[in-house]
Structure 1
Amino acid sequence: MAERRLMHAVQYDSYGGGAVALKHVEVPVPTPGKGEVLLKIEARSLNPFDCRIQSGIIPFLPQKFPYIPATDVAGEVMEVGSDVTNFKPGNKVVAVLSARNGGGLGGYALAKENSVVARPPEVSAAEAAGLPIAGVTAYLALTEAAGIKLDGPKKNILVTAASGGVGHYAVQLAKLGNQHHVTATCGTRNIDFVKSLGADEVVDYTTPEGTGLKSPSGLKYDVVIHCARGIPWSTFKANLSKNGKVIDLTPNPKAFCIFAWHKLTFSKKQLLPCIITPKSESLAWLVGLVKEGKLKTTIDSTHPLSKAEDAWAKMMSGHATGKIIVET
Structure 2
Amino acid sequence: MAGKVMNAVQFDGFGGGAAGLKHVEVPVPAPKKDEVLLKLEARSLNPIDWKIQEGMLRLLLPGKFPYIPATDVAGEVVEVGFGVKNFKAGDKVVAMLSHTTGGGLAEFAVAKESLTVNRPAEVSAAEGAGLPVAGLTALQALTQSAGIKLDSSGKPANILITAASGGVGHYAVQLAKLGNTHVTATCGARNIEFVKSLGADEVLDYKTPDGAALKSPSGQKYDAIIHCSTGVPWSTFEPNLCESGKVIDITPGPSAMLTFAIKKLTFSKKQLVPLLLIPKREDLEFLVRLVKEGKLKTVVDSKHPLSNAEDAWAKSMDGHATGKIIVEP
Q: TM-score, normalised by structure 1?
A: 0.98
Please state how far the C-alpha of 1:277 moved relative to its aligned partner.
2.0
8 Å Cα contact 2:163-2:186 kept in structure 1? yes
The answer to whether 1:166 aligns with 2:168 is yes
For 1:26 and 1:108, the matched residues in 2 are separated by: 12
Q: Does structure 1 retain, via aligned residues, the 8 Å contact 2:44–2:327?
A: yes
Query: 3-state DSSP class of the match of 1:303?
Result: strand
Distance in 2 (alpha carbons) for counterparts of 1:54 and 1:145: 29
Taking the aligned partners of 1:312 and 1:278, their CA distance within structure 2 comes to 23
Distance 2:322 2:301 in 1: 5
In structure 2, C-alpha distance between the alignment counterparts of 1:269 and 1:124, rounded to whole Å: 41
How far is the alpha carbon of 1:150 from its aligned partner?
2.1
Equivalent position amino acid for 2:161 in 1: V
SS in 1 for 2:223: strand
SS of the residue aligned with 1:288?
helix
- Equivalent residue of 2:98, what SS? coil
Question: How big is the shift at 1:46?
Answer: 0.1
* 1:199, distance to aligned residue in structure 2 (A): 0.2
AA of the residue aligned to 1:173:
L
The 8 Å contact of residues 2 and 30 in structure 2, kept in 1 or not, is answered as: no
Q: AA paired with 2:117?
A: V
Residues 243, 227 of structure 1: alpha-carbon distance in 2 compared, 3 angstrom cutoff: same
Classify the secondary structure of the residue corresponding to 1:137: helix
CA contact (8 A) 2:2 2:28 kept: no
* 2:45 maps to 1:38: no
What is the distance in 2 between the residues matched to 1:112 and 1:166? 23
SS in 1 for 2:109: strand
1:71-110 to structure 2, matched below 5 A, reads 71-110=71-110
- Kindly provide the amino acid, as one letter, of the partner of residue 259 in structure 1: F
Aligned to 2:216: 215
Amino acid at match of 1:163: S
Which residue of the partner structure matches residue 54 of structure 1?
53
Query: Aligned equivalents of 2:247 and 2:137: distance in 1?
Result: 15
**Alignment match, 2:321:** 320
- Residue number in structure 2 paired with 1:284: 285
Q: Which residue of the partner structure matches residue 206 of structure 2?
A: 205
Specify the alignment match of 2:264 in structure 1: 263
Aligned residue for 2:26? 27
SS at match of 1:10: strand
Identify the residue that residue 176 of structure 1 maps to in structure 2. 178
TM-fit CA distance, 1:3: 5.4
Q: Residue in 1 aligned with 2:121?
A: 121
Q: Which residue number corresponds to residue 8 of structure 2?
A: 9
- Deviation, 1:260, is 0.9
- 1:57 is displaced (CA, Å) by 1.6
Alignment correspondent of 1:135? 135
* 1:280 partner letter: R
How many aligned positions are there? 326
- Divergent runs of 4+, >3 A: none
Q: Give the SS at the match of 2:51.
A: helix
1:116 offset after TM fit, Å?
A: 0.3
Partner amino acid, structure 1, of 2:176: A
Task: Describe how 1:234-313 pairs up with structure 2 within 5 A.
Answer: 234-313=235-314
Counterparts of 1:142 and 1:233, CA distance in 2: 20
Code of the aligned partner of 1:107: E
Partner Cα separation in structure 2 for residue 279 and residue 21 of structure 1? 32
5+ unaligned residues in a row in structure 2: which ranges?
none
- Cα displacement (A) at 1:33: 0.7
Work out whether residues 204 and 211 of structure 2, in 8 Å CA contact, stay in contact via their aligned partners in 1. Answer: yes
Moved more, 282-291 or 255-264: 255-264
- Partner residue in 1 for 2:158: 156
Partner of 1:195: helix, strand, or coil? helix
Deviation at 1:106, TM superposition (A): 0.4
Question: Normalised by the size of structure 2, how large is the TM-score?
Answer: 0.98
Once the two structures are TM-superposed, the CA of residue 309 in structure 1 deviates from its matched residue by 0.5
Question: Could you say which residue in structure 2 is the equivalent of 1:228?
Answer: 229
How far did 1:259 drift? 0.8
2:267 & 2:86 partners in 1: Cα distance?
46
State the distance in 1 between where 2:149 and 2:31 align.
Answer: 39
- Code of the residue aligned with 2:123 in structure 1: it is V
Amino acid at match of 1:176: L
**Letter paired with 1:266:** F
Quick one: percent identity of the two aligned structures? 70
RMSD over equivalenced CA pairs, Å: 0.9
The CA deviation at 1:274 is: 1.1
